[in-house]
Amino acid sequence: MRRLLSTALPLALLLLTSPIPASAQKTVRGETPYATREDAMQFADDVAERRDLDRKWVRATIGNARLLPNVPRLMLPAPKGTAKNWRVYRSRFIDPIRIAAGVRFWRANADTLARAEAEYGVPPEIIVGIVGVETIYGRNMGNFRVIDALATLAFDFPQGHPRAAERQAFFRSELESFLSTESRTAEDPMVPVGSYAGAMGMPQFMPSSIAKYAIDFDGDGRIDLVNNPVDVIGSVASYFRAFGWQPGMPSIYPVGFDEARLKKDVLMAPDILPTFSADAFVAGGAVLEGEALTHKGLLALIELQNGADAPSYVAGTQNFYVITRYNWSSYYAMSVIDLGREVRAAMEQ
C-alpha cells in the first residue's frame, strides 16, 4: 500500500490520464530495467522522502521502468551547420489532412472553444493550432510508456548535449512530478503512454504542466487529456493565460526594413524576447504598417531561416512569446499560428 500525501488533491486531479485507445499503435517498451541502477534507486529514495511517498512503491515503480536505448539520441540537437528551413518545417504541419482534421475539431467543439476564449482570452485558432501541431487532434499522442521515457532521460540523458546537466535535471523533475501525481491515483503507473519525452494526451502536456495547468473544464470531476476535448481545450487556454497571454493582442505583425536606417544586429540581439516599443522598433529600421504602429506592448524581430534562400521576418508580440513557452521555438510558434489561420479560413469557405 503506497502512502499518500497528507494534503489530498481534489477529485479532478485524481484521474489525470486515461488509457490510450485500443486502436493506437503498439506500445514501445524499453529494455534494461532500472531496478539494478544505484543512481536510480537513490533518486527513488530521495523522491519518497521529499514527497512523503511510500518508499517501496517508488522504488518498485522506478525499478520497473526500462531504458529506451534509442531515445537519448533523439534529444541531441542537429549537427552544427545544419541549415534551418522555415518552408520545409511549415510543410510538416500545414497540410490538407491536418487542416481538414482541424475543421472537424473546431466544428465539433465550437461552443467549448468560444467559452475558453470568453474565460481565458485565448482565441480558438490558437488552441486549434496547438492541438493540431501536437497530435493532429489526438491522432498521434505517442506510444512510449511515460515511466520509461522519463526514466531514460532522467538517468541516461546524452552527455553530448550542450545543456546536458540542465536538461537532465528537468527530466528528473518531471519524473518526480509524474510519480507524485500517480501516487494519488488507483491507476497503474506503468500504463500511461506518450511521446519519447514523456508528454501526454492531445495537448502533449508534461507531468508538471498537468499538475499546474490542466483543468476539469467540463466539470465531470476528472481531468482527461486523452479522450476529452473539453478538458483539452480548457487546459491549453489555462496554460496560455498562466504564461501571460494578452486577450485581443495579435501574435505577429508583418515587418519590412528600411535598409538605410536598419540596425538589424540591435533588433536581433534579444532574440524572440519582446524588447522594443513600436517607436524603438521603427527607429531601428523596421517598417511597420497599420495597427502595428500603435501597438502598446513590446515587440521582437523574429527571423525564420529558409535554407539557402533569404530569411522570412515577422514582428512578434508578447503573445508570440507566450506560444514559445509551449515549445521554445519560433518555428513551432509560427506553425501554430499558421495552422490556426488555415483552419479558420477553411471554416469560412
Whose cell is 467540463? That residue is 218
Task: Give the count of beta carbons closer than 10 Å to the beta carbon of residue 176.
Answer: 22
The residue type of 263 is K
CA 52 to mean position of chain CA atoms? 29
| Alpha-carbon distances of 96 from 93, 103, 286, 339, rounded to whole Å | 10, 10, 34, 10
Q: Angle at Cα 62 formed by Cα 34 and Cα 30, nearest 5°?
A: 55
Q: Which regions of 167-308 does DSSP assign to beta strands (E)?
A: 193-194, 252-254, 256-257, 286-287, 300-306
Sign, CA dihedral 71-99-217-186, equals negative
* Euclidean distance between CA atoms 66 and 79, whole angstroms: 28
How many CB atoms neighbour CB 123 within 10 A?
Answer: 22
Q: List residues with catalytic annotation.
A: 134
Number of helices followed by number of strands (H, E) in the chain: 15, 7
Within 8 A by CB and 6+ apart from 294, the residues are 278
Q: Give, in order, the Cα–Cα distances in Å from 92 to each of 77, 106, 128, 332.
A: 18, 20, 16, 11
Q: What is the DSSP string of 71-111?
A: HHHHTSPPPTTPPPBHHHHHHTT-SHHHHHHHHHHHHHTHH
CA–CA separation, 312 vs 274, rounded Å?
18
How far apart CA 300 and CA 293 sit, in angstroms, is: 14
